[in-house]
Structure 1
Amino acid sequence: MISAMPNAGLAIELQPAERAQLEQWESAQGTPQQVALRCRIILRAVAGQQNVAIAAGLGVSRPTVQLWRKRVHEQGIGEVWEIAPGRGRKAHYDQGQRDRIIQATLQSKPKGMTHWSCRLMAEAQGVSKNTVNRLWQLHNIKPHLSRTFKLSRDAKFLEKLTDVVGLYMNPPDKALVLCVDEKSQIQALERTQPGLPLKKGQCGTMMYDYNGNGTTTLFAALNVLDG
């Protein structure tokens, strides 16, 4: 919510998540200096400082402070990453292009893959990897993350859980624990039930159970005596 304040420029009020995002951009090592400066301008504006005080404290002109108050007012905090056409190396993408990138991320998958990467999405949309990364950060989209879940209906689940956890809590002398699974690079695509799709601020989910391949061979490899 943003409202006008006489003689003090635009008074800016941000949601906690938006303020945290600006603070993250401002302090991140990879953030360009000009973007970090814009973040500082907006953060000071949010704190209630007047344009004159912000300009003096950051060593910029008052029109610069007014400009970025106005741009964030009209376009949101993601505008701090944008550069006017003809200046700098970054291209200026309109809202339609941004919407297409977000829609493609949430509603499609690259051929033969489980999710989009910055590189693949950049190639598909004809933009830079940094542009995709900034949009994903702005909308809190994390295609590479997924949350697994397992609901057991076993009547003896608690009893079995206690036995397994008990071994870890109080292991016998000279015990050796082997935990074996498929390599993370090998995608197990045959889940027993479908998960929930990727959304803004929420990673996709998938069932813990899947139809595995090569399990017999994997366990046979541990049988060192008879192969």
Structure 2
Amino acid sequence: MRSRIILACAEGASNVDVATELGVHLSTVGKWRRRFLKLRLDGLIDEQRPGRPPSIALDRVEDVVVTTLEQTPRNATHWSRKSMAERSGLSKSTIGRIWRDFGLKPHRADTFKLSTDPQFIEKVVDVVGLYHNPPERAVVLCVDEKSQIQALDRSQPVLPMMPGMPERRTHDYHRNGITSLFAAFNIADGTVIGQLHRQHRATEFRKFLTTIDKTVPTDLDIHLICDNYGTHKTPAIRAWLARHPRFHMHFTPTGSSWINQVERWFGYLTEQKIRRGAHKSVRSLEADIRAWITDWNNNPRPFIWTKTAEEILESLARFCRRISGAGH
């Protein structure tokens, strides 16, 4: 902006005209014009500002950042504020401030898994294509099983939340059996078809397919997005699908459950009902799950898939380039 002011003034424009053209205050034009006439280019540089100069040299800050990113302490897997302070000679509060400024969190580590499916690209394009452009006169359902849901009852009564004190529960519990939930999430309206079974074999999956067939209007095709679990591909399932031609199977890439929207719905169920629930029997657990699904379907909420297949593949390519030895 300072350079534009000087160049405009050099063309003979008045201060008023320059201020109007560049959208700045008239006094701003006058200030930098006077500075330039007196000191030339040096006049456009900021003057020394009041205040205490930085107490830490930039090379020491750089050393902390580079060491955090490229090295580990001798007897630990990651740096702590204390260990970095001892290495660098800076205070722990200073290390914490540097890490915050550069967004470094050595104590945190997230997990990831790269799919090795040879048909990864084709499957991503297929599934994401259904999300963005579902077929006409068809319903798209994301299907999966949440297996071995445990009916857990705490060994002692839960202490309820009080002002200034969170809810508290014992770390140990009694196991009272397991159940499995088969679910089909409708990507268009967010409704869910659910069915509970004590086992999760191909037999139970075939029963669930029959339930879907009876639930979805007969004039609609059904596109199912599933993972590569063995029960989805047995001869009995393939034979059933052959007798029901309106069913079309679409498989997600191996190790890529994130692309199946029903997994996100399972997350809601786990967080809101299962994780902190207490159930003295499998029957009470199943009753709670059925009630939760009914409540969800009274006010269903579809998920909005925004990324295209091309954006997903490019994002994964960038991620792979950051990983040493990831191959192609």
**Bigger Cα Rg:** 2
Which of 1 and 2 has higher RCO (CA within 8 Å, sep 6+)?
A: 2
Measured against the shorter chain, the TM-score band is 0.3 to 0.5
Flag the structure with higher strand content: 2
TM-score of the aligned structures, taking structure 1 as reference length: 0.33
TM-score of the aligned structures, taking structure 2 as reference length: 0.24
